[in-house]
Amino acid sequence: MLQKHHAVTTRAIRKFRRQFASKPKVVKTPNQAPPELQATNAQEVPKEQTPQAPKPPAPRLIFGLGNPGNEFKATRHNIGFLCVDTLAQSLGLEFSKNKYSSDYAEFTHNGVPVYIIKPKTFMNLSGSAVRRWLDSTKAPLSNVLVVVDAAELPLGELRLRPKGSSAGQNGLKNIIELVRSEDFPRLRVGIGRPSSKEIDLREWVLGKWSGDEHWPVQHTRQFASMAMKSWLDEGIDKA
């Protein structure tokens, strides 16, 4: 009888052990959710995101247009070169660097990189240099200012516009063609037209300044430099 009771007790213990092994006991701590809810809550907790560094500001690009070479240095067509020369001088800069077929100087204005650029591609091919600078710096067209001669304006008159056609100026025409847009600011600097209709306009534009034009040209360069600084400070709408 004792042996039979011992066998029954042994079977009961084995059964209990099997049940215990198949269903592990979960010990809950205070305020702890059940395992199935814990898994759900774990998915809802957002992961910490590493703060991203702010993107650097897009640079501003000022292009003065003209023809390279000493034979063109003092010509009316090169007033764009002369005006950016004056801007650089007023900032204590020199065009000591060369890139993308251009001489250039650089500085920082209110935390924004600024490049003053003189393409050496000749006036009628200025667009190739402008296109390369845009591709390299990723600057938007609104950050570009092109300084160029304007025969339709009297000597000393300036016209700053946010966009527009080339008005027959071949440098602007090539830029518009290669950037596929007219929507970029430009500073047109008046050089005037010849007083006589017998003088060819092309010869006039490529001609050198006369003695009477010396002082007006110097003042024009100063005013153009001030206009470029105003564009940097206030943008195209307030400059």
DSSP states along 109-172:
ETTEEEEEEEE-S-GGGHHHHHHHHHHHH---GGGEEEEEEETTS-TT-EEEESS---TT-HHH
Q: Which of 138, 89, 96, 92 is nearest to 113 (CA)?
A: 138
Average pLDDT, integer, range 69-84 = 96
**73 φ/ψ angles, rounded to the nearest 5 degrees:** -60, -40
> How confident is the model at residue 47, as a pLDDT?
64
pLDDT of 45 reads 54
109 is catalytic: no
What whole-number distance in Å separates Cα of residue 44 and Cα of residue 227?
56
Please write the tens of the pLDDT for every residue from 104-148: 999 999 999 999 999 999 999 999 999 999 999 999 999 999 999
What is the pLDDT averaged over residues 51-71? 91
**Averaged over 60-74, what is the pLDDT?**
96
Candidates 77, 109, 214, 219; catalytic one = 77
pTM across the whole model = 0.78
pLDDT digits (tens, 9 = 90+) for 9-19: 455 445 545 55
Q: pLDDT tens digit string along 174-197?
A: 999 999 999 999 999 999 998 888
| Residue 56 φ/ψ region, left for φ over 0, alpha for ψ in the -120 to 50 degree band, beta for the rest | beta
